[in-house]
Amino acid sequence: MLIEPAWVDVRDPIERIFALLARYRLLLELTHCGYGCPIGSLALELHEPDPVVRQLLASNFSGWIDQVENCLIDARKVLGRDLDTRRTASFVLTVMEGAVMQARTYRDLRPFDAAIATLRDHFNMLQRAATRTELA
């Protein structure tokens, strides 16, 4: 529902990640910051989820992380071979969920935009570090 439309014309693996985040932003914008990640919202609402429900929620998050991790694996040449792709993909999910939560809370896109800009800065730093390592 989110990944395929976001990635339809995007080839660069890093830009795929940001296209997915831009898709979330668009949904926030269209709903005046009312849209939220349905799975994230459900996970937050459940005080003590049933093990089966928790497993399903975790499976969804893992699938999202898998997709982002595949992008990071494809981008290893520019991000650095030593990058922990799984941990970084989980970090991207954390940034997205937090950015959506803040935008919904404040009913303002600025917190979302700031979080995504900081994530972009992080990726730019990784690219610069990988380039320096490659040149050394």
Residue spans of the domains in the chain: they are 12-135
Query: Which amino acid type is present at position 63?
Result: G
Q: How confident is the model over 5-21, as pLDDT tens digits?
A: 878 899 999 999 999 99
Under the banding of pLDDT at 50, 70 and 90, the label for residue 31 is very high
Per-chain mean pLDDT for the chain = 90
Under the banding of pLDDT at 50, 70 and 90, the label for residue 44 is low
Share of the chain above pLDDT 90, in %: 68
Query: Which amino acid type is present at position 31?
Result: T
Using DSSP's 3-state secondary structure scheme, residue 73 falls into: helix
Cβ neighbours of residue 63 closer than 8 Å, sequence gap 6 or more: none
Could you give the CA distance from residue 82 to residue 133 in angstroms, rounded to a whole number?
11
Instruction: Tell me what pLDDT residue 52 has.
Output: 84
Spatial contact of 20 and 2, defined as CB atoms under 8 Å apart: yes
Q: How confident is the model over 59-91, as pLDDT tens digits?
A: 889 999 999 999 999 999 999 999 999 999 999
Instruction: Tell me what pLDDT residue 91 has.
Output: 98
Superfamily of domain 12-135: Tetracycline Repressor, domain 2 (1.10.357.10)
Instruction: Tell me what pLDDT residue 6 has.
Output: 79
Six-digit token pair at 70?
Answer: 């595949």
Could you give the CA distance from residue 15 to residue 18 in angstroms, rounded to a whole number?
5
Instruction: Tell me what pLDDT residue 1 has.
Output: 67
